[in-house]
Chain A
Amino acid sequence: MYFAAKVDKEKCNGCKLCILSCPEPNVIKFNKDDKKVVIDAKRCKNCELCVVGCPSKAIEIVLLQDS
Chain B
Amino acid sequence: MNNKIYKISPGFEKIMPKDYRDLVNDGPFDKKLGVKDLGTFKELIEEHPLCAGCGLALSKRLILASLPSPENTVIVGTTGCSSLSFAQVAIHNIHSIFGNQNALATGLKRALEIRFPDKTKDVVAMGGDGAIGDIGLGMVMHSWFRGEKFTTIMFDNEAYANTGGQESGMSQKGAVLNMAPTGKKYDKLPLPEIARAAGCVYSAVVTPARPKRLEKMVRRAVLLARELGPTYIQIYCPCPTNYKFKPSESLKRTKDMEKSGAYQIKEYISPAAEELIKKFEEEK
Q: Do A and B bind each other?
A: yes
Using a CB–CB cutoff of 8 Å, the interface residues on chain A facing chain B are 16, 19-26, 28-30, 32, 37, 43, 45-49, 51-53
A26's partner among B46, B62, B249, B251 (CB-CB below 8 A) is B46
A52's partner among B47, B55, B248 (CB-CB below 8 A) is B248
Q: How far is the CB of A25 from chain B (nearest CB, A)?
A: 4
Q: How far is the CB of A61 from chain B (nearest CB, A)?
A: 10
- Is B174 among interface residues, defined by CB-CB distance under 8 A? no
Cα–Cα distance between A31 and B72 once the two chains are bound (Å): 29
Using a CB–CB cutoff of 8 Å, the interface residues on chain B facing chain A are 35-36, 38-40, 42-43, 45-48, 50, 52-55, 57-58, 61-62, 211, 246-252
Assess the A25–B61 pair: CB atoms within 8 A: yes
Q: Given A48-B247, A52-B248, A52-B251, verify A25-B43 contact (CB < 8 Å).
A: yes
Assess the B47–A25 pair: CB atoms within 8 A: yes
Assess the B39–A28 pair: CB atoms within 8 A: yes
Q: Given A24-B47, A25-B46, verify A19-B38 contact (CB < 8 Å).
A: yes
A19's partner among B39, B250, B251, B252 (CB-CB below 8 A) is B39
For B61, what are the chain A residues with a Cβ–Cβ distance below 8 Å? Answer: 22-25
A30's partner among B40, B50, B246 (CB-CB below 8 A) is B40
Q: How far is the CB of B254 from chain A (nearest CB, A)?
A: 10
Known pairs A49-B58, A52-B252 / 6 extra A-B pairs, C-beta < 8 Å: A19-B38, A24-B48, A25-B47, A26-B42, A32-B40, A48-B53
